[in-house]
Amino acid sequence: MKFDVLTLFPAMIESPFADSILGKAVERGVIEIRGHNLRDWAEGRHQVTDDTPCGGGDGMVMKVEPVARALADLRQRTPGTRVLLMTPQGKRFTQNDASALSREAGLVFVCGRYEGFDERIRTLVDDEYSLGDFILTGGELAAMVMIDAVARLLDGVLGCAGSALGDSFSDGLLEYPQYTRPVEFAGMRVPDVLLSGNHGEIARWRRREQLRRTLERRPELLESAPLCAADRKMLEELQKAAPDA
Ligand SMILES: C[S@@+](CC[C@H](N)C(=O)[O-])C[C@H]1O[C@@H](n2cnc3c(N)ncnc32)[C@H](O)[C@@H]1O
Average pLDDT of the chain is 95
| pLDDT, tens digit, 9 for 90 and up, residues 129-181 | 999 999 999 999 999 999 999 999 999 999 765 577 788 898 999 999 999 99
Pocket test for ligand 1, best of 86, 91, 140 (most atoms within 8 A of CB): 86
pLDDT score, position 162 = 54
Q: Which of 4, 50, 75, 88 is catalytic?
A: 88
Ligand 1 nearest-atom number relative to CA 129: 21
Mean pLDDT across 195-205: 98
Mean pLDDT across 210-232: 96
User: Ligand 1 pocket, 132 CB below 6 A?
Assistant: yes
Measured distance CA(178)–CA(198) in Å, rounded: 16
**Dihedral through CA 207, CA 209, CA 212, CA 213, nearest 10?**
-110
8 alpha carbon – ligand 1 mean position (Å): 14
Measured distance CA(244)–CA(237) in Å, rounded: 13
167 has catalytic annotation: yes
User: Ligand 1 pocket, 88 CB below 6 A?
Assistant: yes
Percent over 90 (pLDDT), the chain: 92
Measured distance CA(159)–CA(180) in Å, rounded: 19
Residue bearing the CA closest to ligand 1, atom 26: 112
pLDDT score, position 238 = 97
152 has catalytic annotation: yes
| pLDDT, tens digit, 9 for 90 and up, residues 79-88 | 999 999 999 9
Mean pLDDT across 63-67: 98
Mean pLDDT across 192-220: 97
pLDDT score, position 160 = 67
115-141: b (≥16 Cβ within 10 Å) or e: ebbbeebeebbeebbbbeeeebebbbe
pLDDT score, position 161 = 53
User: Ligand 1 pocket, 141 CB below 6 A?
Assistant: no
7 alpha carbon – ligand 1 mean position (Å): 13
User: Ligand 1 pocket, 136 CB below 6 A?
Assistant: yes
State the pTM of this model. Answer: 0.94
User: Ligand 1 pocket, 144 CB below 6 A?
Assistant: no
- Residue ranges of domains in the chain, CATH in brackets: 2-151 (3.40.1280.10), 184-241 (1.10.1270.20)
Residue 225 has pLDDT above 70, yes or no: yes
User: Ligand 1 pocket, 119 CB below 6 A?
Assistant: no
CB-neighbour burial class of residue 112 (10 A; exposed 0-12, middle 13-18, buried 19+) = buried
Q: Provide the CA 43 distance to its chain's centre, in angstroms.
A: 33
The torsion angles phi and psi of 194, rounded to 5 degrees, stand at: -75, -15
